[in-house]
Amino acid sequence: MDDFKNLEEISKKIRRNILIMLNKSGSGHSGGSLSIVDILVSLYFGGIMNYNAKNPNWEDRDRLVLSKGHACPALYATLAEAGYFDKELLWTLRKLGSPLQGHPDSKKLPGIEASTGSLGNGIAQAVGIALAAKVLKKKYKVFCIVGDGEMQEGLVYEALMAAGHYKLSNLIIIVDNNGLQIDGQVSDVMNVYPLKEKFEAFNFRVHEISGHVYNNIIDTLTTAKRNVISPTAVIARTVKGMGVSFMANRVEYHGVAPTDEELKKALEELK
């Protein structure tokens, strides 16, 4: 329980840094960044991923691909917290010449495994990385976070087909199932449900969990890492804008940075 308390404190710190970053940049994606924080904290601080922040290119590290690349403020803040780079760099988000661009660039920042943002491409890259590990007989795991709105992309299903066909048991796809995308409810814009059955059709083992309850997330991802038969999909029910009352489940905060007044209110809530 103490461990989970520690993870909750880390998540609050990361959420605060996300909001400060976005406020300083004046643009970026609030809602979908806040919804994946607990997943990222579980991966990096919950004993799930093997990594070395001081040696980010360690050959046997586990890989994380953020396919929903617009939520990169959450990944940047997590990597800084994990020690990949100085936290002062966070305040350069989206500034000209900064390695912290509006979408992740693997050539500019340590800890970024794939340049993503064009939706669907990240999951395809994750499948390729997992397949390479199988060919090279490497034991590392490949985690990939996708958005539920991203599941509307045709490329996603080509990637899932390949993952199932090649039995990529080293691949773990986590769906940030917050139910909202830039234009509204995912089910209204282009209904992707039921997701569980779609993954099962491509021979994935599927888990449905809360994306904000640490013992759920960590137990499920631990089980997924032990799967040696098939790829795994974790459908994580999340809240867009999680942690900030006036952003929670509000589609208008999909791609909006907090104003000075909103930042002050949000930081009060996240004390």
Q: What is the CATH number of the domain that holds 98?
A: 3.40.50.970
Q: What confidence tens digit (pLDDT) does each residue in 148-196 have? A: 999 999 999 999 999 999 999 999 999 999 999 999 999 999 999 999 9
- Residues of the chain with pLDDT > 90, as a percent, come to 98
**What domain range is 244 assigned to?**
2-269
Q: What confidence tens digit (pLDDT) does each residue in 77-118 have? A: 999 999 999 999 999 999 999 999 999 999 999 999 999 999
Q: Which residues pair with 146 in a beta bridge?
A: 175
Q: Compute the mean pLDDT over every residue in the chain, rounded to the nearest whole number.
A: 97
Contact partners, residue 40, CB within 8 Å, separation at least 6? 14, 74, 75, 78, 145
- What is the Cα–Cα distance from 243 to 32, expressed in whole angstroms? 12
Output the pLDDT for position 214: 97
Look at the block and give the residue holding tokens 């909202």.
180
Of 187, 154, 177, 159, the closest CA to residue 240 belongs to 177
Look at the block and give the residue holding tokens 């403020």.
73
DSSP state of 26: T
Q: Are 140 and 60 in contact (CB under 8 A)?
A: yes
Confidence tier at 1 by pLDDT (50, 70, 90): very low
Contact partners, residue 158, CB within 8 Å, separation at least 6? 124
| Number of folded domains that form the chain | 1
Q: What confidence tens digit (pLDDT) does each residue in 39-86 have? A: 999 999 999 999 999 999 999 999 999 999 999 999 999 999 999 999
Confidence tier at 2 by pLDDT (50, 70, 90): low
